[in-house]
Structure 1
Amino acid sequence: MDKNTNSDNRIALLIDADNCPASKIDVILDELAKYGVVNIRRAYGNWKSTGLKTWESVLHEYAIQPVQQFAYTKGKNATDSAMIIDAMDLLYTKQLDAFCLASSDSDFTPLVMRIRADGLRVYGFGEKKTPSPFVNACSRFLYLENLVVEQTAADDTTAPEPRPEKASGKTLRGDSRITSLLRNAVEACADEDYWASLSSVGSHISNQTSFDPRNYGYKKLGDLIEAIGLFDTERRGSHLYMKDKRKKDRKGS
């Protein structure tokens, strides 16, 4: 089993409650369950603030430890400092495999880089306003707006959250970061005829930077690759292979 998706991996979840909606905690935990067990769950904020009332009802339900942090100095974010200090303590004192930081604050970028320097993965969750340095520093980052809360109760009359709109092929091709990332990954993983498997391309990208197709409205990487229109694709059994359309294999095909 891939170490990154080992069900025994130990994950510490640290939540900036000021910058993360309580309504998304269930889908955050559901996503993290794909990568391991969330042994440590902490939410940071000034719990005397009325702005955190929505969190109170979910703390006990999801076994999240509230960490009180007063705003000692006006204009300074004491919550960020408390999270950073706790993260470093956990890094040195606990045997963890990964961290998850739920916040839209770029102040955590140096922390992410420090944790990854020790060989641990960092999963990030934040709103679309999250600055790109924090997004790109994470092993994997997901925008909270793209995490859809599934409606499962048959008698629930609440309208389900709309799924994020898929980016068109034209939009994807117009994003130089995506096109370069995919083309470079395919080239790095290609065989002598320029074909690369989806699994190898996905692994190459995850080792390089934070990228998740759901941030563009696609459930799977293969769906995004087919939509972008830059690659020839073919199925070999249950596996998808792709080749840059600019390449011609040595057999002339």
Structure 2
Amino acid sequence: MAQPTDLLAVLVDADNVPPSKIGAVLAEVARFGTASVKRVYGDWTKPNLSSWKPVASEHVIQPMQQFANTVGKNATDSALIIDSMDLLYTRRFHGFCIVSSDSDFTRLASRIREEGVTVFGFGERNTPEAFRNACDRFTYLDVIDEPAAESAAVVPTRVPGPKLRSDTKLVHGLRTSVRTASGEDGWANLSPVGLLMRKQHPDFDSRNWGYAKLSDLIRATELFIIEARSGGLQVRDKRKNGD
């Protein structure tokens, strides 16, 4: 996974991302590295993209013009893909941030990862699973906010414990990750559990259920024991032997 000092390329599909979310995306990107390249792709002659222009200027994002030469063909996607490969071959970047909800970028994400480069995806909830899973990490736009807007932001409703326990995919993933990361005593460090969850499901994020921290989400399920022990927070399945 990229580190805060790593160089990242941020490539935005203007047709599939609301400009109001780009500040929050860049704040999230800053957690993983330095966005040394920031580009947003679209046909800027179209009136529906006019709201992007002041936002791109504010966040110093380079607008990349791509005319829609043929009806029914997305030339913008092609331009983003070509630029991504050009940037990839410079070997300068530790990670690529693809901001789109479009499944057309599934193969691009896979190809970048084949080079050992991390891919961070950002998109709407309706983003196709294939693209989400092609990324190392995928974040939904509705769970992130700009730091300056946090105080005024609507706090996501936390999914209650009973509903969490009925989420078989979540429960199975957590139990499997805890079991895999645990020692002979059944205790596992919390950090590796989160990493294992994301390897199985790149779109895993405790904020998807309204919890700011993974520890809060796990506690809310009431299926695990969490204790502060040597080495940090550790978690254990309440079931005997984790079976």
TM-score by length of 1: 0.88
Structure 2 vs 1, CA of residues 76 and 134 (structure 1 numbering), >3 Å: closer, same or farther?
Answer: same
2:125 alignment partner, one of 100, 125, 128: 128
Aligned to 1:72: 69
Structure 1 range deviating more: 20-29 or 176-185: 176-185
> CA shift at 1:206, angstroms?
3.4
Percent of aligned pairs with the same residue? 47
1:1-253 equivalences under 5 Å are: 4-151=1-148, 160-210=152-202, 211-236=204-229, 239-248=232-241
Structure 2 residue identity aligned to 1:114: R
Counterpart secondary structure, 1:224: helix
The 2-side partners of 1:36 and 1:118 are apart by 18
The 2-side partners of 1:49 and 1:163 are apart by 35
The 2-side partners of 1:105 and 1:15 are apart by 11
Structure 1 residue identity aligned to 2:131: F
> CA shift at 1:89, angstroms?
1.3
Q: CA RMSD in A?
A: 2.0
* Maintained 8 Å contact 2:27/2:146: no
> CA shift at 1:45, angstroms?
0.5
Structure 1 range deviating more: 225-234 or 7-16: 225-234
The 1-side partners of 2:166 and 2:74 are apart by 37
Gaps of 5+ in 2: none
Structure 2 residue identity aligned to 1:167: V
Deviations 1:220-241 (A, max 9, x none): 1111111122212222268221
The 2-side partners of 1:195 and 1:12 are apart by 38
Gaps of 5+ in 1: 154-158
Counterpart secondary structure, 1:93: coil
Structure 1 residue identity aligned to 2:160: S
The 1-side partners of 2:223 and 2:174 are apart by 9
> CA shift at 1:207, angstroms?
3.8
Structure 1 range deviating more: 206-215 or 139-148: 206-215
> CA shift at 1:150, angstroms?
4.7
Q: How many residues align?
A: 241
Structure 2 vs 1, CA of residues 152 and 188 (structure 1 numbering), >3 Å: closer, same or farther?
Answer: closer
